[in-house]
Amino acid sequence: MLSSFTNDILGSFSDIAQNQVAIAIYGLLAILIISLILASIFPSWRTTFVKLKILEPDERPSSLLVWIFVILIFVKLIQIFIIQPFIVDGGSMLPTYHNKEFLLVDKFSYLVGKPARGDVMIFKLYENNRNPYEGKYLIKRVIGLPGERIKVENGVTTIYNKENPKGFIVDESFVIYKELRKNVDMTIGDHHYFMMGDNRAQSYDSRDWGPLDEVNVKGQVLFRLFPLFVISYEPGRATYTK
């Protein structure tokens, strides 16, 4: 059986296909690596690299290749365990997040702690059935925590837990696009979370596929970096008093 570390490594490479930024960066790196390999074989290629100031006159292409691979390994470790870039795809989190916004996701916090209600998380969806989102990244907000009962009725979310056995209504003033027909009443199991998009009218979330298993959680949104006029830290994070 593969170790968790090995699975993380392999999974991170499969994630590249879902990340436009990663595709562009790794594509350019692949071109550079192939060019350096050719420069190791053909003197004319090496001469071109020297003229472009990419290589020093007495530097071998192989030395630069070694540095590139060392940097790649370092970057991949950061991406797997600390922070990773993502681009929002779709409008399920409107008006908090918009399509094509560039985010940095904190992966380290959930290695040492647990998600809190109100966190905006990135996760992979696995339902064990055929659907357009199977195995893809989604962005949603944490609404229900392990062990709680969640009741969504006519657009109102009520949570029952040990501290509030009679239930309390979740303050969701940030929700503009409501959905009055998706009613659910369920109890969340251990190591699971109830997730909903802020755009309730167009969000495919725990109301449809049930609680999220924490093993599929990738991290929480830490920074929004693009567009430049909406740069922010933990954008849209909601704090609940109950």
The per-residue pLDDT string of the chain (242 residues; one tens digit each, 9 = 90 and over) reads: 333 334 454 455 555 555 666 677 778 888 989 999 999 999 999 999 899 888 888 888 999 999 988 888 887 777 777 888 888 989 999 999 999 999 999 999 998 899 999 999 999 888 665 666 777 889 999 999 999 999 999 999 999 999 999 999 998 888 999 999 999 999 999 999 999 999 999 999 999 999 999 999 999 999 999 999 999 998 988 877 66
Domain edge (last residue) among 29, 57, 81: 81
pTM of this prediction?
0.75
Question: Is the same domain home to 130 and 212?
Answer: yes
Note whether residue 90 is domain-resident.
Answer: yes
Q: Which of 107, 124, 140, 218 is catalytic?
A: 140
pLDDT of 117: 94
Domain edge (last residue) among 81, 116, 141: 81
Question: Is the same domain home to 59 and 112?
Answer: no
- Name the domain count of the chain: 2
237/141 Cα distance (integer angstroms)? 8
Question: Is the same domain home to 132 and 227?
Answer: yes
Distances (CA, A) of 160 to 142, 152, 179, 236: 15, 12, 21, 24
**Known catalytic residue: 92?**
yes
Q: Which of 4, 12, 40, 92 is catalytic?
A: 92
- Side chain identity, residue 30: A
SS (H, E, C) 22-45: HHHHHHHHHHHHHHHHHHHHCHHH
Helix (H, G, I), strand (E, B) or coil at 139: strand
Note whether residue 242 is domain-resident.
Answer: no
**Known catalytic residue: 4?**
no
Note whether residue 202 is domain-resident.
Answer: yes
196/184 Cα distance (integer angstroms)? 12
What's the domain range around 136?
Answer: 85-233
